[in-house]
Amino acid sequence: MAIINAETLKNPFSKTRQMLVDLVSQHGTVEYIEGAFADAERPTGVEIALVHLTKSGMADEMVTAWTRDLKEADRPHLEWSSGNQLAMPRAEIENLVIAYRAAVESAKQMILAGQRHGYYSSLLGKTLAETDHGGGGVNAAMNVVENWQKQLSTTLTDLRDRAWTAVIRRSELTGKLSSAAQKRISAEFDQIRKLDFTLGNVYGFIEGVLASRAEIQIGMVCDVFDMMTRYHSGNRVWYRGWKSNDRHRTAGMRVRAKRIVLPATGYRGMDGKPGYEFMQSLRDIDRVFAMMNGEAEPTVSLEKSFDTQWSALRNAEKVETDHFFVRYFKGIGTLHIFPKSQDLMDRFNRVVGKQRQWLPPDVDEGKASKAFWKQYDQAEKVDQAAKVDIHRTLIWEAEHGDTPEVRARGAQKIDEILQAAHEKVGIKGVFEAIDNNTQTTLLLEAA
């Protein structure tokens, strides 16, 4: 409780006063009283504000996008669908909460009993051995009392960690994510586990994940795209992008639709199979392409093929999985992946292109000319005919340069390279201004 000048809340002209107003509105109440000190020793007619604040723990903080609206209150019954969505039966959630509460109560009783034992034992005084070596006595009893809260806090933190981990594992959340997405979840978990483990918070967390699943899935597609384009420059081809960057056109990338080469680094076991990180990359590819094809998981995956068809792979024979043909060259340490569905590869590239604004969003697709889509569709032919070579340093400069001028210069150089490549194959590029949130639309005219 606090008494302050009412003008402080009624006229929040400064950042400090505005922060105080927000604090009171979120965590307390206020009562305005006029003439409260009219009869004081030093009377004044100033209006006061009587502020009541309630201290809240981390469970009430807005820690992440998934946990923003969580609070300790039961949610209405929710039906979870199966398939590619998160799934966890209501009864299992309720049982976890019951088990958590029972564990908390048991921990309190156990710790309190231990502390009582230590306290009263200390009051009895020292044993003969302790008398000879020091220790024990009333001071030790006081230390026992002081340690009670610390020990309880540590135990409750451990129980919350275990409970939230159980939700994440049993809901099969991490099992459906790429390795990069799992790392992002782990980073968020430090905040998630600070929330009180109640039915309301668990339901709210799962609701948040479900609401964010489209964003999560797009992130997984981008993770695999980056992995494919990072390891081998021959896996990518360039096109002139839709979005402008500081007055100049940004460059877009596509993964080649016919063949993708990945380095098979590291080895495990006596038979020389590729190492864990490589197999994790294959697992990520399997999950993304199964997800894009509406499957929970592939029947014949890239990862499993290294166990079930290892004899053929180590002899460089072509092996078939659900979505790819693959050939492994152990001597040079590479895996060649040949996508079976060009339609699936096109969807894969378009998801990344739209996410990174290299392609127009769905609502603006009609604003791009036929020639724009032609240069996108023929990016591999352009790359092959013109031998387009854009160095990573130039891409970094265009996207992450220290100043707008540096980024604009890098984007201009890239655009000049792509424009020259188009001219070699008979495509002329023309910029035409369109009022669309200060962007300009690239129109390409076939010669």
In contact, 368 and 242? CB cutoff 8 Å: yes
What pLDDT score does 25 carry? 75
Give alpha helix (H) positions in 85-124.
90-123
The token duo for 336 is 């060649």
Cα 240 from Cα 251, distance rounded (Å): 5
Cα 405 from Cα 174, distance rounded (Å): 42
What pLDDT score does 327 carry? 94
Give the H/E segment covering residue 48: strand 48-53
Cα 93 from Cα 48, distance rounded (Å): 48
In contact, 86 and 206? CB cutoff 8 Å: yes
Residues of the chain with pLDDT below 50 are: 56-86, 136-138, 141, 245-246, 430-447
What pLDDT score does 265 carry? 74
Q: Where are the beta strands (DSSP E) in 278-400?
A: 319-320, 324-329, 334-339
In contact, 341 and 323? CB cutoff 8 Å: yes
- Rounded percentage of the chain residues whose pLDDT exceeds 70: 75
Task: Calculate Rg over the CA atoms of the chain.
Answer: 31
What pLDDT score does 87 carry? 54
What pLDDT score does 429 carry? 54
Tell me the CA distances in angstroms from 43 to 51, 353, 358, 366, one per residue in order: 21, 71, 70, 73
Which residues on neighbouring strands pair with residue 268, listed in sequence order? 273
Under DSSP, the state recorded for 80 is P
Cα 12 from Cα 379, distance rounded (Å): 57
User: Coil, strand, or helix at residue 330?
Assistant: coil
In contact, 416 and 343? CB cutoff 8 Å: no
Tell me the CA distances in angstroms from 419 to 285, 333, 388, 397, 428, one per residue in order: 33, 36, 10, 19, 7
In contact, 277 and 284? CB cutoff 8 Å: no
Residue whose C-alpha is closest to residue 269's, from 279, 261, 259: 279
**What's the angle, vertex CA 388, arms to CA 387 and CA 393, rounded to 5?**
140
Whole-structure pTM value = 0.61
In contact, 251 and 240? CB cutoff 8 Å: yes
The token duo for 170 is 């049993």
In contact, 394 and 410? CB cutoff 8 Å: yes
Which residues on neighbouring strands pair with residue 52, listed in sequence order? 29
Cα 180 from Cα 191, distance rounded (Å): 18
Contacts (Cβ under 8 Å, ≥6 apart) of 383: 237, 238, 421
> What type of residue is 292?
M
Cα 149 from Cα 291, distance rounded (Å): 48
Q: Where are the beta strands (DSSP E) in 224-345?
A: 236-245, 248-255, 260-263, 267-268, 273-274, 319-320, 324-329, 334-339
Residue whose C-alpha is closest to residue 263's, from 239, 234, 232: 232
What pLDDT score does 347 carry? 93
Residue whose C-alpha is closest to residue 59's, from 48, 72, 47: 72
What pLDDT score does 386 carry? 66
User: Coil, strand, or helix at residue 169?
Assistant: helix
